Chain A
Amino acid sequence: MDDLRTPSGIFFTLLGLILLGMGLFAPDTRAALTEMNVNLYSGLLMLVFGLFLLLMARRAARHS
């Protein structure tokens, strides 16, 4: 394991999927002071970040 982007990418992809799942299937989960679907949006962002890291890792692996 030389490229840290792979495990970090997997981690954030999984994290994103969990939150996204919460946001989609339990959309009424709200904290006292929030109106928006926090899990949905933050899950999406984390998923994008995780996939971006994985993409970077793949590109780096192909170049070397």
Chain B
Amino acid sequence: MKLAPVDYLILALYFAFVLGIGWRLRKKISTSGDFLTSGHSVPVWITSLAFIAANLGAQELIGMSASGAKYGIMTAHFYWIGAIPAMLFMGIFMMPFYYGSKARSVPEYLKLRFDEKTRGYNAFTFAVMTIFSSGISMYALGLLLHLVLGWNFNTSVLATAAIVLAYTYLGGLTSAIYNEVLQFFLIVAGFAPLAYLSCTKSGGWSGIMSRLPANMTHAWSYMTSASQNNMGVDLFGMVAGLGFVLSFGYWCTNFLVVQRAMAADSMSAARRTPLIGTIPKMFLPFIVILPGIAAVALAHMNLGYDLPTKAGGYDYDQVLTTLMAKFYPAGMLGVGLTGLMASFMSGMAGNVTAFNTVFTYDIYQSYIRRGAPDHHYLTVGRMTTVAGVALSIGAAYLAQYYNNIMDLLQFVFGFVNAPLFATFLLGMFWKRATAHGAFSGLVSGTIAAALTWGLTVAEGKGGVLGQVHQFPSVMAQNFWIAILAFSACFVVTILVSMASRPRPEKELEGLVYGLTKMPVDTAKWYQRPAPLAIAVSILVILLNIWFA
């Protein structure tokens, strides 16, 4: 792929705007709260788009089109059975406790609800995970730019990281969130035309269906057993593993996304943030997955498009860029490439802003230096932003040793996030859950995840501790790691809670269901959470039926 001067012009224009937004917002920062939590002042349409954009990193874009080419429309389960129900649950049931507790972060909620050790455990694991995610994203981008444009891996990684650092350092979370919205628009502008062009070229959805095996164009019909579909996952593994444990674990407890909703200017806006976010979210598969599916159909048509290959098979991670090269002329190609850069930046800025908040409030202020004046924590927040970017760069070089980006991400989420949702579920809805219960539950969940991974084999990997069971695919293994980690955490939390002394109910007001006055929403009926959630559910069910 060769770029024309106009493509570079578009890329430069985008960089100028991103930095400009950071520069204009720098004056709004005078306290650590402004820098790390946006001072609860961001309008709801902005938080909603930032909520989904922070998750829409480069590895998501590249990974989703790759999975589309590999697994077909079943990939949409990550959205339609995964993200959407979890986002609805988060807005309706969990946001009142997050926003109402006045916690500044997810680990801080755990501190208020349980105790210091639960917070510390969560803060530490989360900090490590965000650095890894950020590094993986950076690696994915650097590799792609190298393969596609021949750009130097080091230069492109360091230059984009420097831009992210500049605007998050200047304007903090507000700058990250504002830019995420611009980035979201740009991702849609850059990739929606690709979906349209590749899909019409392959004869529309009916043309694609006629050229692909039926299990790639049906989301639900081929899941009675794992051997029927390319993912190697059965119905239970999909619904319980991805639909329940992994998705709820990610969308309801991951501070990266929760932070965006917490930045909203009122309780009502905070609850609506994930709910409104579901509307663009449910249509994203048509932009990010469809091109991957169309690519397989195109490869059957002798038009001069072949699926990209590497030693030992297809290189699905290059599907998106090879399509761009075939469908985008100079000009639009610049927009597509800028969209890819934008997705990378939104993902990385999301990770960095979540990391600096958790580090500053939950690690530094709690364990290293308490009770300092606020401007001290503002400085620490800024320094942590620099350190976070530096560590991500380190993680990017580490990520070079792993191949499939999506699988690795799921794997990390399985260890850390899956047990977490059990802790929040019990913490928010069962007042008897105690701090010792929560902590031992989390630890057992993570151990259960590690043991499952160590004792099972999938696609010739894993089984470090022996081979008890063989999974049909790494995906199935990941889903089951999550299911077992969640179950272990759930059971151990209940058992240990029953054996330990409960906290007085007075201390739990505002933190637990039943002891919290649920917010009365005075917004117009169609802006209230419940009607919004019902409308979204109907739409998603229709989408699932349509592509069943």
- Within 8 Å of chain B (Cβ to Cβ): is A57? no
Would you list which residues of chain B between 314 and 365 have a CB under 8 Å from chain A?
325-333, 335
Q: In angstroms, how far is the closest chain B Cβ from the Cβ of A42?
A: 5
* Cβ-defined partner of A8 (8 Å) among B185, B197, B333: B185
A43 to B9, alpha carbons, bound, how many Å? 15
**Size range of the interface on B?**
20 to 34
- Within 8 Å of chain A (Cβ to Cβ): is B13? yes
A49 to B190, alpha carbons, bound, how many Å? 13
Q: Are B325 and A31 in contact (CB under 8 A)?
A: yes
Q: Are A15 and B10 in contact (CB under 8 A)?
A: yes
Binding site of B, secondary structure by majority: helix, strand, loop or mixed? helix
For A19-33 the 0/1 string (1 means CB < 8 A from B) is 100110010011111
Q: Are A11 and B13 in contact (CB under 8 A)?
A: yes
* Cβ-defined partner of A42 (8 Å) among B6, B9, B305, B335: B335
Take A4-B182, A31-B325, A38-B197 as given contacts and tell me if A18 and B21 are in contact as well, using a CB distance cutoff of 8 Å.
Answer: no
Take A18-B9, A46-B189 as given contacts and tell me if A38 and B329 are in contact as well, using a CB distance cutoff of 8 Å.
Answer: yes
A10 to B304, alpha carbons, bound, how many Å? 38
Q: Which residues of B contact A61 (CB under 8 A)?
A: none
- Within 8 Å of chain B (Cβ to Cβ): is A34? yes
- Within 8 Å of chain A (Cβ to Cβ): is B17? yes
Total contacting residues, chain A, CB less than 8 A: 27
Q: Are B331 and A33 in contact (CB under 8 A)?
A: no
Q: Which residues of A contact B325 (CB under 8 A)?
A: 31-32
Q: Which residues of A contact B182 (CB under 8 A)?
A: 4, 7-8, 11
A18 to B189, alpha carbons, bound, how many Å? 14
Q: Which residues of A contact B185 (CB under 8 A)?
A: 8, 12, 49
A23 to B335, alpha carbons, bound, how many Å? 14
Take A11-B17, A15-B189 as given contacts and tell me if A33 and B326 are in contact as well, using a CB distance cutoff of 8 Å.
Answer: yes
- Within 8 Å of chain A (Cβ to Cβ): is B46? yes
- Within 8 Å of chain A (Cβ to Cβ): is B203? no
- Within 8 Å of chain A (Cβ to Cβ): is B432? no
For A47-62 the 0/1 string (1 means CB < 8 A from B) is 0010000000000000
Which A residue's beta carbon lies closest to that of B181?
A4
Q: Are B20 and A30 in contact (CB under 8 A)?
A: no
* Cβ-defined partner of A19 (8 Å) among B181, B201, B298, B332: B332
A22 to B329, alpha carbons, bound, how many Å? 10
Q: Which residues of A contact B20 (CB under 8 A)?
A: 7
A15 to B329, alpha carbons, bound, how many Å? 15
Take A7-B20, A31-B325 as given contacts and tell me if A18 and B305 are in contact as well, using a CB distance cutoff of 8 Å.
Answer: no
A29 to B327, alpha carbons, bound, how many Å? 11
* Cβ-defined partner of B327 (8 Å) among A10, A12, A22, A33: A33
Q: Which residues of A contact B330 (CB under 8 A)?
A: 22, 26, 29
| A-B interface, 5 closest residue pairs, ranked by CB to CB distance from nearest | A22-B331, A1-B24, A29-B329, A39-B331, A33-B326
Question: Which residues from chain B sit less than 8 Å from chain A, CB to CB?
Answer: 6, 9-10, 13-14, 17, 20-21, 24-25, 46, 178, 181-182, 185, 189, 193, 197, 201, 298, 303-305, 325-333, 335
Can you list 28 A-B pairs with a CB-CB distance of less than 8 A? A1-B21, A1-B24, A1-B25, A4-B21, A4-B182, A15-B10, A18-B9, A18-B13, A19-B331, A22-B6, A22-B331, A26-B330, A26-B331, A29-B329, A31-B329, A31-B333, A32-B325, A32-B326, A33-B298, A33-B304, A33-B327, A38-B197, A38-B328, A38-B331, A42-B332, A43-B331, A46-B189, A46-B335
